[in-house]
Chains A and B, each alone.
Chain A
Amino acid sequence: MKKLAIIPAYNEEKVINSVINEIFTFDESIDILIVNDASTDRTGEAAAESGHATVINLPCNLGIGGAVQTGFKYAAKYGYDIAFQYDGDGQHVAEEISKLMLPLERHEAEVVIGSRFCQKHNGYRSTLARRIGIKIFKIVNSLLVRQWICDNTSGFRAYNKRAIHFLAKNYPGDYPEPEAIILLGRNGFRMVEVFTRMRERTEGDSSITAFRAMYYMVKVLLAIFMCALRPRLEEE
């Protein structure tokens, strides 16, 4: 089983090394791909210096969706069986990867979402506005894919080969996580959500700032409804 951790990184030079080392220490058999989304700091160099990661330096900033999709393209091209999506800011915990892997290995699901909210008292806090936004996505997405997804904004996910190849071709642009769930759900991928611990953010800001929160909500909801209205996409 070839496994790849896809880590999109934008200006994470301080933490990228510890992220790489954490995954490397957890499981050496997981290949690590850093997609440096045209960072203005030394993220790319720092990741390369670790010696444990393949680094793709994008020539201009694509946003998280475009960066992650680059990882899917890489995974598809080099025949990986499992791909993990893992944040470059250090908020994900490498040990939790095994929880994501289990449903894929048992063929119970094709997409596994690492969720912060499936249990209470998980040590994860977030702002009120963010929680409201997450709640709205939860209701809308659950209605549209007829499956209860608690954490639509989680960027901690695992995909099997079929999902990798599908996403290499179709992946939303900015703020892709909630939209990707609709896309996968509407195209018949079996999804499952597992509870994973996450850390408070150590370095860097969330990709969602207060100013952009409204834009984010409207844009993503529009994208979600449009996605739901489109017919299923053709696969090869």
Chain B
Amino acid sequence: MTGFTVNSDRVQWIGILFSIAYIAVLLVLIHRKKIKEEYSLLWLFSGVVFLIISIWSQVLFFFSFLIGIAYPPAALFLIMILAVISILIHYSMVISKMSDQIKILVQEQGLLRMELDRLRMGSDYSEKTGKSLKEKKRPAAG
């Protein structure tokens, strides 16, 4: 053994295997309801893109030629970074929507609990005569 030579066949097979494993893990997670379908689509899409690139490396070469990247593996990094960024932006959208929904829920819960307490005060007051529960002089609205 005098040295290592790059075996492009080997890297292609590894790429295909990793892409398939990646897609399989995603599908298992969706199947077990660990990820909702709507939040897995971007991941799955990126997995399919990686699989295509591993099978037909010409796609990557053509893509790098199109946008003027001299070294095709650099285009691969670009694709991966774009995929991750788009997924993260999607997450920011999801988080924003959720925090809006949480805000509305918290406000509604606060209002409802206050109204429930007010109702209870009204009905329980006569029973709890021993307690020094001060009846509100002015229930603010009725």
A73 to B104, CA, bound (A): 10
Given the known interface contacts A57-B114, A74-B111, the answer about A52 and B106 at a Cβ–Cβ threshold of 8 Å is no
A154 to B94, CA, bound (A): 32
Q: Is chain B's interface secondary structure helix, strand, loop, or mixed overall?
A: helix
Tally chain B residues at the interface, Cβ within 8 Å.
16
Chain A residues contacting B140 (CB-CB under 8 Å) are 4, 31-33, 53-54, 78
A173 to B134, CA, bound (A): 35
Is B107's beta carbon under 8 Å from chain A? yes
Is A55's beta carbon under 8 Å from chain B? yes
Which chain A residue shows the least CB distance to B136? A51
Within B96-137, the residues touching A (CB, 8 Å) are 103, 106-107, 109-111, 113-114, 118, 134, 136-137
- Return the contact of B141 from the options A31, A55, A57, A70 (Cβ within 8 A): A31
Q: CB distance B110 to A51 under 8 Å?
A: no
Scan A1-38; emit 1 where CB is below 8 A from any B CB, else 0.
01010000000000000000000000010011101000
Within A26-77, the residues touching B (CB, 8 Å) are 28, 31-33, 35, 51-60, 62, 66, 69-70, 73-74, 77
Given the known interface contacts A62-B106, A66-B106, the answer about A73 and B113 at a Cβ–Cβ threshold of 8 Å is no
Q: CB distance A173 to B113 under 8 Å?
A: no
Give the shortest distance, in Å, between A9 (CB) and chain B (any CB): 13
Tally chain A residues at the interface, Cβ within 8 Å.
28
Chain A residues contacting B136 (CB-CB under 8 Å) are 51, 54
Chain A residues contacting B114 (CB-CB under 8 Å) are 54-57
Q: CB distance B138 to A173 under 8 Å?
A: no
Q: CB distance A58 to B106 under 8 Å?
A: yes
- Return the contact of A31 from the options B106, B111, B138 (Cβ within 8 A): B138
Give the shortest distance, in Å, between B136 (CB) and chain A (any CB): 6
Chain A residues contacting B134 (CB-CB under 8 Å) are 51
- Return the contact of A173 from the options B103, B111, B139 (Cβ within 8 A): B103
Which chain B residue shows the least CB distance to A29? B138
Scan A94-112; emit 1 where CB is below 8 A from any B CB, else 0.
0000000000000000000
